[in-house]
Amino acid sequence: MAAPDLAVSATREAGTGRLQLESLTKRFNGRTGVVTAVDRVDLDVQPGEFITLLGPSGCGKTTTLRMVAGFEDASGGRILLDGKDIDNLPPQRRPMAMVFQSYALFPHLTVAQNIAYGLRLQRKRKDEIAAAMRMAVTSMNLVGLEDRSPHELSGGQQQRVALARALVVQPKVLLFDEPLSNLDAKLRNAMRAEIRRIQKMFGITSIYVTHDQDEAMSMSDRIVVMNKGKVEQVANPGEIYARPASVFVADFIGRANFLEAVPERVSDGTATITVLGRQVTVAAHPKIATSTQAVYLMVRPETAHLEPVTDGGTGIGVVLRSTFHGPSIDYEVETTGGTITVTEPGVDPREALDEGVVVNVTFDPVRAYLLNRD
């Protein structure tokens, strides 16, 4: 009997792999007392979804992943896979596979032997292993490398072997623990696209941990932003970027200017304020309900624009410095509302504004957002 093709198997299992975290909590005994590393995290991951846990070091993202994998015991809450509680299952009995930061390849085994390792543990037949190997090697562009040892491979090739080893066992959930942090920037970008392509092809529910916002933005269906063990926001990348739930999220995802303001009028999710010498109406966070509280207006640098003031006129800002990035120039500008950053795309560096130039600053109010102070 012929072994099933991996892609066919993945299609047949479509609809499985729903992962639910309910009030998931982890506490450690520290030198100063009990430390809550993960604080009542709730998350509902749909089958085939690619979710990224994003946040600074110590925010709880890796601990959350390790609890899902079974490497850490939860202090409270539940983990459900397809509606079944898996809290008491050891890691080897959870239908999951993990791709580690260190690749974790066996140095004494060849590429083929590393990939087939999990299948042999499952006592699969030789013809099943051979069929799965062909699919994995072809999918991961490893043809011709089967007999090499890990030390003979580049970092990108080692990462593809690690991913192939995880995929051949056909897990319901694929877990990634900062898998690209050891690669250089160019290879990291290429591997992002490769991982996302493979994940979509097989339709495997995936949880990806990183502190790299670019990785999260470019790969995820939804991003879970964590801070001090808590979930700050869960949303798709566009929503996270344009409508962050807090100043922390706005500041962590991309770059942002925060201009102090007091709403003059609040109505139906919008607020009227005066900043940088002009009155504008902008979208406002739902918790901004009165016109008496001090708030921050988030303005992304790429949504702002500088106009030099000529003939001795007065503006609202002065250029402090400029930084050339190739596709764009960043200006640091001292304004009446504080120091802000403005990104101007496609500027010839020979035409960059000089230090000390007086400018007016405008921004797109449609792309600004009013936030409570954290």
What pLDDT, in 10s, does the model give residues 255-286?
A: 999 999 989 899 889 999 999 989 999 999 99
For the whole model, what pTM was predicted? Answer: 0.88
User: Is the pLDDT reported for residue 119 higher than 90?
Assistant: no
CA dihedral 285, 288, 294, 297 (to 10 degrees): 20
Of the options 3.30.2320.80, 2.70.98.10, 1.20.58.220, 2.40.50.140, the CATH number for the domain spanning 255-372: 2.40.50.140
172, pLDDT greater than 90: yes
Residues carrying CATH 3.40.50.300, the chain: 6-242
Q: Is the pLDDT of residue 9 over 50?
A: no
For the beta carbon of residue 307, count every other beta carbon within 10 angstroms: 12
Q: List the CATH code of the domain at 6-242.
A: 3.40.50.300
- CATH 2.40.50.140 positions along the chain are 255-372
Q: What is the pLDDT of residues 298-308, one digit of tens each?
A: 999 999 999 99
The answer to whether 195 touches 179, Cβ cutoff 8 Å, is: yes
Residue 159 token pair: 């990462």
**pLDDT per residue over 325-361, tens digit each?**
999 999 999 998 899 999 999 888 888 999 999 999 9
What is the average pLDDT across 242-260?
95
For 200, phi and psi rounded to 5 degrees? -70, -40
Residue % of the chain over a pLDDT of 70: 95
Q: Is the pLDDT of residue 203 over 50?
A: yes
Does residue 13 sit in helix, strand or coil?
coil
Q: What is the dihedral of CA 83, 88, 92, 94, to 10 degrees?
A: 10
Dihedral angle over CA of 164, 169, 170, 174, nearest 10: -60
pLDDT band at 13 (very low <50, low <70, confident <90, very high): low
Name the pLDDT band for 292 (thresholds 50, 70, 90). low
Average pLDDT over the chain, rounded to an integer: 89
pLDDT level of residue 2 (50, 70, 90 thresholds) = very low
